[in-house]
Amino acid sequence: MTALPQTTRRRLKKVPQIPSVWEGDRRPLGGMASSLEPEMEGDGECIIWVDGSEGCVRSMEIVPPDTGLEAVVRTLLRAIESPHHPAQPARPQKIIVRDREIQFFLRGALQNLDITIEYAPDLPLIDQLFQSLEEISTTKPPSLPPHYENLLQETAEQVWEEAPWELLADCDILALDIENREIGTVYICAIGMMGAEFGILLYRSLDSLKRFRAAALQEKSAAQLEQAFLNQDCWFLNFEVDRQEVEEEEEWQDSETTDIIPCFGSLHPYEGMRPFLDEEEAKIVYIALETLLRFVRQYSQDLEPEQLPKISAHYTISLSSTANTSEIVSVQIATLPELTQELLALGDDSGLEVMPDGQEVDIAIEEDLIPDGSLVTLGNVSWKILEQLKKQRKTYYQSLNLSPRGANLPAIVIQTSRPKAMSIIETIQRAGGLKAVCFNPGNDPFTGETYDLGMLQTGDGKLHVFAEYPHDFPQHVQALKRWHRHCHQAKGYCGLIIAMGATGAARGNPQPQDMLALFEVKAVNGEELGMGMLQLLPNLDFE
């Protein structure tokens, strides 16, 4: 047993002693642990010191069960020297505990402090306090009303499997009107294209949606973003990974449905975040999710193009009111292309000067940078791999000192042989590095074919074509749609990876050791470079 240092005892004896009796105890939290200390793994224990004369808690600490008795002394010293407001520093005349081991430990640790330490089998104040905490814990409302719990859980699983965020970006808002409901228009927002988090937001206010969107796109502090988040007015369905079932390194897309936990709740400026829904809210959320599922299934092909079309639909939803009765609800859902463009405009902070309409620009477009047979992929790279590449001596890294946003950085991967990869890297270096990645529409006037040209702009201003994406291939259209949304979520930045191994076992899936260069660049569109529709014309050379 260790007594307090002499310097500490002298300091404590300078604290005024008052004629009061304090109660102290250490108790397991049980079911209250998640409420008092959400991040603690296991049940945890609570160390608490209460002033019996004033009826106030002077100090409290949540500790793991295997923490030693030293923590009891630490908490007591805080109760003496820096108690919870409004209590003032003070030294009690007597301390009462209900644990003999704690009593003997304190007698040894608090020698010469003129504090009497006694044992009592009951501690009325602490008993009453814990009884109140247990009542609060047991009366906590369920996250979903019992009658709708299974229905909403099943619907959430369908939403996860359908993945509406694969078709709808967070700026592609849907308007939902429910017949004979007091609630006005509900604005549906799917989040998940960036791969960082997945869910559905159901905004009760369009102004709230716009305000949060504007705040999230601005460079703000974490505290300001948290305040903007809590000021939203919406219901939400978020999906979380069950970390007990999924290894930390696994990606979202590798998780099975059974590993995903749906979480329902509400956000409101006056309530903050509330992790449960009442019965009326559960009805509205179910109607909204069921309508969204039907809409996405019916119009999946129409939602693939980059430009969100104007679509509206009517559905009737069967809503079970009780175990034996049900009601039919009529709903209308529609896309809002104008709102999508308005939200996209909020994030248009690229800083690049757009050329006036009709003004011709003279930009050289070349097609010889990327060798024939190269494998070009639109994908993403995790920030963890980016950090690894920065330290990898054989990898050339052009850095813009980007701050991580989301789980990954959108990236174009060009895979070829090692000699050809080195030639690409050297050519880009000689041209002053990589300036931008660009996609621009083009057409062949002879065949009528339309496509998007993927181009790299080097430091000397030249454009180098790396791929063509015909518009009559739905998979190409969808891949480009995802790419643009990912870049928008990344605030207009992306990466270009030059890798070797196009003919080996790593073809299509290069590993970090295969990556010879990574360029962090700005993702722009043709208009920002002053281009319009490009036309394929024959190169006629008359002598």
What are the percentages of helix, strand and coil residues in the chain, rounded to 5?
Answer: 30, 30, 40
Shared domain for 512 and 418, answered yes or no, is yes
Distance of CA 288 to the CA centre of its chain: 22
* 128 shares its domain with 159: no
Task: Please calculate the CA angle 44-46-52 and round it to the nearest 5 degrees.
Answer: 170
In sequence order, what DSSP letters do the residues of 80-131 get, joined into one string? Answer: HHSPSTT----EEEEEEES-HHHHHHHHHHTTTS--EEEE-S--HHHHHHHH
Q: Which phi-psi region, left, alpha or beta, contains residue 199 (left: φ > 0; alpha: ψ -120 to 50)?
A: left
116 and 151 in a common domain:
no
User: What is the phi/psi pair of residue 427, to 5°?
Assistant: -65, -45
Residuewise pLDDT in 10s, the chain (543 residues): 567 888 888 899 999 999 999 999 999 887 555 555 544 445 688 999 999 888 889 999 988 888 889 999 999 999 999 998 888 999 999 999 999 999 999 998 998 899 999 999 999 889 888 887 777 655 566 788 888 899 999 999 999 999 898 788 888 899 999 987 778 899 999 987 544 468 999 999 999 998 888 876 664 555 666 677 788 899 999 987 654 444 433 443 444 444 678 999 999 888 888 888 998 999 999 999 999 999 999 998 888 666 778 999 999 998 865 555 678 899 999 999 999 888 877 754 433 333 334 444 455 678 889 888 788 888 888 888 888 888 888 889 998 888 887 778 899 999 988 889 999 999 999 988 999 998 888 877 666 678 888 999 998 888 899 988 887 777 777 788 888 888 887 888 899 999 988 777 777 778 888 899 999 999 887 767 766 666 655 444 434
267 shares a domain with 195: yes
Tell me, yes or no, whether 219 and 112 share the same domain.
no
- 167 and 300, same domain (yes or no): yes
In this structure, are 161 and 189 located in the same domain? yes
Q: Are strands 56-63 and 515-525 parallel, antiparallel or unpaired?
A: unpaired
109 is a domain residue: yes
In a domain, 358, yes or no: no
Residues 158 and 40 in one domain: no
Q: Is residue 342 located within the same domain as residue 407? A: no
> Is residue 467 included in any domain, yes or no?
yes
Which residue range forms the structural domain that includes residue 71?
6-138
Pair 194, 318 in one domain: yes
Among 100, 116, 138, which residue terminates a domain? 138
Residue 63 included in any domain: yes
Please state the domain count of the chain: 3
Does residue 397 sit in the same domain as residue 328? no
187 and 161 fall within a common domain: yes
Does residue 353 sit within a domain?
no
Tell me if 441 sits within 8 A of 450, measured CB to CB. Answer: yes
Q: Which of 317, 346, 375 is the last residue of a domain?
A: 346
Q: Identify which of 521, 325, 282 has the alpha carbon closest to the alpha carbon of residue 411.
A: 521
Strands 534-535 and 434-443: parallel
Task: Write down how long the chain is.
Answer: 543
Residue 529 in contact with residue 438, Cβ under 8 Å? yes
Domain annotation covers residue 540: no
Q: Are 148 and 282 in contact (CB under 8 A)?
A: yes
